[in-house]
Chains A and B, each alone.
Chain A
Amino acid sequence: MSTEEIPYICECEFCEQGLLRFRSCPECEAICAVCDECELVWEDIGEVSDDPSVKAASAYPRCPVCGAKEKGWPALEFEEIQDAELEDYIADESV
């Protein structure tokens, strides 16, 4: 599945080009919102979904939850987002 087909949360207000996708830290498995262009990371998906102008918590690859700088955060597909009960935060326009 290409990145373009992976669900996203909203457009990034910082770079105005990237899309915030659900990604999990490979160290602590925390699910965060990560911009696929500027790579800013938001810990609270609900908060950034409601207000995309809220400041980011960190930048990839630093996890805002555990502080690790592990690279290669996998993007969550729809079923995984559902399993994490985060599907309400998928943008209406998202595939």
Chain B
Amino acid sequence: MPRWKHAAILALVMYGLLAQSAVSHEVDDEPKRVTATSTLELRELVGQEVAVYGTIESTGKSPSGHQFLNFYGKQVSVFCRQDDVLKFKDGAPADLYANKEVEVTGQLSLFNGKLQLTLTTPEKIRLLKETAGHAPPKTVELKLIGREAWMSPAGLRYQGRDPEGLNRVEHIERHTRDIPNREGPHGVFDGGKEVAFAVIDEAWELAEKAKLRANVEGDRSSYLVRMRRRVGYLGGQTGKERGNPPLDRVFIVFETDTKNIVTAFPR
């Protein structure tokens, strides 16, 4: 074979290999997309570029010009340096994205033990949906009414223990964080414990107002209340398999003919 033909074939092979490597490199570099409430999964991605999506619950500006966006639940925040803030020509990120559903792509790190995403350019944040008018639900404080017995503002009682020995408050707190290794589904409330108890109160009041018929099975009854907004997401192994979809209903189990709550979770 003439030397020029040999060189041409070699060049074509090399070009092909390089092109293939560029394509696979591009695919490999696609940042993982994770909901802001999947904190356990996010902690495993610290140090990587990640696309995090969710609702911005609050925002802040530091005296030195840095800006912060806090995802709902305050488990993940977005940090935008003062010199990067200047790249946003349509307005400051803290003003543009408050109470909005966004996806932010950036380097994930831990700051004071908390998950932090760095926003460097306007292209790294995109609006998913406006959620203004859907302010986060209020929080409630349970009143201690006896030994390991609490009452909510709506008069719901949390007393007794589950078969594992957890009191009712501790049991419901299990539903304010994901248990990714749990077999089956695990409904997780957005916003932490205080918001969860407020949402349960709200769901109970909605059920009573709508004269919802409880599903009764002996000593246990339940309400499934549609909240018409996201109240949490599906966790556990089933949730992980389905990409942790959002949930907009609250399922409440109570002792029949009482206001004694056994459990409650998003469903």
Distance in angstroms from B194 CB to nearest chain A CB is 22
Say if the beta carbon of B162 comes within 8 Å of chain A.
yes
A71 nearest CB neighbor, chain B only: B161
Assembled-state Cα–Cα distance A71/B166 (Å): 12
For the complex, give the distance between the alpha carbons of A35 and B160 in Å. Answer: 16
Max chain B C-beta neighbours (<10 A), residue from A34, A39, A57: A39
* Other-chain contact of B253, A4, A8, A15, A61 (Cβ < 8 Å): A15
Partner of A8, one of B183, B219, B251: B183
In the complex, are the beta carbons of B163 and A17 less than 8 A apart?
A: no
A16 within 8 A of B: yes
A73 contacts B by Cβ under 8 Å: yes
Taking a contact as CB atoms under 8 Å apart, the answer to whether A40 and B220 are in contact is yes
- Shortest Cβ distance from A60 into B: residue: B163
- For the complex, what is the distance from the CA of A89 to the CA of B119, rounded to whole Å? 52
Give chain B's interface residues, CB within 8 Å of chain A. Answer: 160-165, 179, 181-187, 215, 217-220, 222, 251, 253, 255, 262-263, 265, 267
Query: What residues on B are CB-neighbors of A60 within 8 Å?
Result: 162-163
- A38: B residues at CB distance < 8 A: 220, 222, 253, 262-263
The CA-CA distance from A38 to B179 in the complex, in Å, is 18
Q: Are A3 and B164 in contact, with the CB atoms below 8 A? A: yes
Q: How far is the CA of A71 from the CA of B220 in the complex (A)?
A: 17
> Contact between A58 and B263 (Cβ–Cβ < 8 Å)?
no
A63 CB to closest chain B CB (Å) equals: 12
CA distance A3 to B253 in the complex (A): 20
Q: Which of A7-47 contact B (CB under 8 A)?
A: 8, 11, 14-17, 19, 23, 34, 36-40
Distance in Å: Cβ of B22 to nearest Cβ of chain A: 42
A38 to B252, CA, bound (A): 9
Known A-B contacts A36-B162, A40-B220, A62-B219; A15 and B251 likewise in contact (beta carbons under 8 Å) = yes
| A14 and B183 contact, CB distance less than 8 A | no
Instruction: Say yes or no: A4 contacts B185, CB within 8 Å.
Output: no
Q: How far is the CB of B115 from chain A (nearest CB, A)?
A: 24
CB atoms of A11 and B161 under 8 A apart: no
Q: A55 to B253, alpha carbons, bound, how many Å?
A: 16
Which A residue's beta carbon lies closest to that of B182? A4
A36 to B265, CA, bound (A): 13
B162 contacts A39, C-beta separation under 8 Å = yes
Taking a contact as CB atoms closer than 8 A, the residue among B181, B218, B220, B263 that contacts A4 in the complex is B181
Task: Please measure, in the bound complex, the distance between the C-alpha atom of A60 and the C-alpha atom of B219, giving whole angstroms.
Answer: 9
Residues of B within 8 A of A94 (CB): 183
Q: Which residues of the other chain, B, contact A73 by a CB distance below 8 angstroms?
A: 163
A47-91 vs B, CB cutoff 8 Å, 1 = contact: the mask equals 000000001111111100000000111010000000000000000
